[in-house]
Each structure stands twice: as structure tokens, then as C-alpha cells.
Amino acid sequence: MTQAKFIQRGASLIEILIGLAIGLIILVAIGTAYVNANNTIRQREDQAQLNDPARAVLTMLRQNLMQAGYVDAFDLDVAGQTRAASLFTQGDEDLANLFIRSPTRPISTPITLMFPGLTPIFGCDGTMNGTPNGIATAAPPAVQTCGALSATRHTLQIAYQGVPNNAGNATNSLAALNPNTGDGLDCLQQAPPAGQTIVINRFSLSPLPLAAGADSQLRCAGSGGAAGQDIAPGVEEFVLRYQMSAPGVTPGPLDQGVAAGGGQERYLTAAQVTASAQRWAGVTAVEVCMVSATPASRGPAAQGTIDLQPNRPTCTRDATGAFNPNVARAAGDARLWKRYTAVVSLRNAVFVTPL
């Protein structure tokens, strides 16, 4: 009987090297997939960091702009008359101009008549002097002036009646001041100064120069307090344009004139609105543009963000009204950037028919 011989053989060096190479390829593939997935997650988190505050800010701006210039026509004034009776009087040339829109004289508005010098909205192509609280606590007429110009950092002020003059009046359209619901409060949830029924909110960017390492913020100052407060992080540009209604035609003896809102002009800058015959009472819509950036990305995600977006958007426009081309990133900037735009109609710019 023959005894079989079994020879035990190990893997050769070539087989070991091939196995190591295959394993290394698998590990590299897994590692690359993990890094790419992690970078994608980081970039999606950056997108959320941009979109959520921007959505909240645009919602707040829309709400404010739609209230701009509101006056409760059924509220009682200090003399016990309704606003409808005290503000709209036949034979008054300024009041007639509310709906005729004369091209030769400034237009009054109900809120201007209620608080002289204060317009439903007021904008600056840069900074704005004073504070909403300073306007609300000073004796009328309101003083609204602009400061230093800026191509990318504009200011918008919005005013409307937020609190009824007589809360006991059953025909009020406005609810009484309520800290729980926010009725009658400014953008920082502050009540108007004592005896004041007007809410004034002002939106702008953080004052320059910024502290070292600080990001620019969109902030709001309300008429209920002297100090402003940041409401949205990373907003680097805040640019506004204003849509104006076409001026009316001064009526002749047998003419009715051209009614308010009979046509629209092009979008104007704040300086152009101020220089126009109609001034701020003629604005029927506001275009808002914001450019926001996330906090700086870190690690491989930072380079992935730079590769994805080598340039950043801007809100500035060329002579035709189109946005200027994206601009190069600053050295070391690894933030994700995004531009947001919205056009909001001023519903209280629809002027009433005289009594």
C-alpha cells in the first residue's frame, strides 16, 4: 500500500503583493467615497446655513413692506374722529394729490399726514442718519436723511400704524398691543414709545469697520428702543431698488387727471427716488437683493467649496440693470456664497378714492 505524500505550500511573494495591491485599492476607494460623502454633507449643511436665515429675513421684509404706510382708517384720532374723516378732506390740494399724483409737487400719504415728515418707506444708498427710536420719541416733523454712500450696503426704513389710538373703538382694524402675539411690536419685539401708535423698523448691515474675524450681519433697529440687533448672520451685501409709479398729469378745468398707479417707471436708486417729484410716496414696489456667506468651511470641505465656487456673486448691476459678473474670492476665503432676490409690492401704495 502506497502512502500519499502531501506537500504544504505557502503563497508566493507575487501573490502576496497582488493581494496587498487589491486591498489597498479597495481601501482607497472606500476612503475616497467617505471623504466625498462627508464633503457633500458639509456643503449641504452650508446650503442650509445660508437658506434658512435668508428665508426668515425675506419673510420678515415682505411682512414689513406689505404693512408699509398702513393707517387704520376706522381708528379714532385724538379729536374723536375716524382717520377716514380727519385725513381725507375734500378740497385739500395735498389730499387730492394722493390719487392724482401731480408731477409738479411731492405727494403726501396718510401716514405722512398722521406723522409729518415720516414716509411709508425711506431708503438710502448707504447708511442712514439717526435711529427709528429717535424719530418716534421726537416731536414731528420726522427728519429722514442719509449718510455715507455704499454700492453694496444699503438701508431701508419702514413705517406703519401698529397700535390703535383708541383700543376701545370697536371698529378698529388693528388689535391692541400684545407681547404674546407680537401685535403692535417692532422688528425686535419692542413696544412703541408711550403714546405712540407708529412702528418704525430699519434694516441695514453691521456698521463698518467689522471686528477682526467677524462676519457681516443684517440687523434691525426698531422704534421701541435705541439699539439695533443682528437678525441674520453672514449677509455681506444688501442692495435695494425701488419701482416708481408714473407721475400723473395736472388736470385742466374739465379734466379728471391721471389716477394713481396709471403706469410704472423703471427701478430707481434711493437717491433717484428722493430727487423725483413724487418722492417716496410714489414707490409701489421694492426689490431686495442679498448676498450671504456661510461661516468658513474646514478641512477637505473647504477646498471642495472653493473648487465648486471659485467666484462669488454680487448684488451690484451694470448700466442695463443686469447683475455684474461674479467676483473673485478674497485670499483664504473658503465660504459658500449665494445671492437672494425678491420683489415686494407695497399694497398700501394703492391710494383711496376721495370722500
What is 74-101 written as a DSSP string?
A: TSB-TTS-BHHHHH--TT-HHHHHHHH-
Residue 6 within any structural domain of the chain: no
- How far apart (Å, rounded) are the C-alpha atoms in residues 184 and 192? 8
Amino acid letter at 43? Q
**How many Cα atoms are found within 13 Å in the side-chain-facing hemisphere of 61?**
29
Residue 23 within any structural domain of the chain: no
What pLDDT is recorded for position 170? 84
Residue 329 within any structural domain of the chain: yes
Q: Contact 283/349 with Cβ under 8 angstroms?
A: yes
Per-residue pLDDT of the chain (355 residues; tens, 9 = 90+): 556 566 666 677 787 888 888 888 888 888 777 777 766 666 666 666 778 888 889 999 999 999 999 998 888 887 888 887 777 666 666 666 555 556 566 677 888 888 999 999 999 999 999 999 999 999 899 999 999 999 999 999 999 999 998 888 888 888 888 888 888 999 999 999 988 899 999 999 999 888 877 888 999 999 999 899 999 988 999 999 999 876 665 555 555 555 555 566 678 999 999 998 778 888 889 999 999 988 776 665 677 777 778 899 999 999 888 999 999 988 888 888 899 999 999 987 655 444 3
- Sorted by sequence, the CB contacts under 8 Å of residue 130 that are 6+ apart come out as 143, 144, 145
Residue 247 within any structural domain of the chain: yes
Q: Contact 324/316 with Cβ under 8 angstroms?
A: yes
Helix axes 13-67 and 300-308, enclosed angle (nearest 10): 60
Domain that holds residue 195: 44-349
What pLDDT is recorded for position 256? 55
- How far apart (Å, rounded) are the C-alpha atoms in residues 77 and 198? 13
Q: Contact 226/133 with Cβ under 8 angstroms?
A: yes
What pLDDT is recorded for position 336? 84
SS3 state of residue 291? strand
C-alpha cell at 190: 419692542
Residue 29 within any structural domain of the chain: no
Amino acid letter at 34? Y
What pLDDT is recorded for position 103? 59
Residue 34 within any structural domain of the chain: no
Alpha-helical (H) ranges within the chain are 13-67, 83-87, 93-100, 110-114, 132-137, 270-275, 300-308
What's the number of domains the chain is made of?
Answer: 1
What pLDDT is recorded for position 262? 57
Residue 188 within any structural domain of the chain: yes
Amino acid letter at 188? L
Residue 159 within any structural domain of the chain: yes
Amino acid letter at 283? V
SS3 state of residue 280? helix
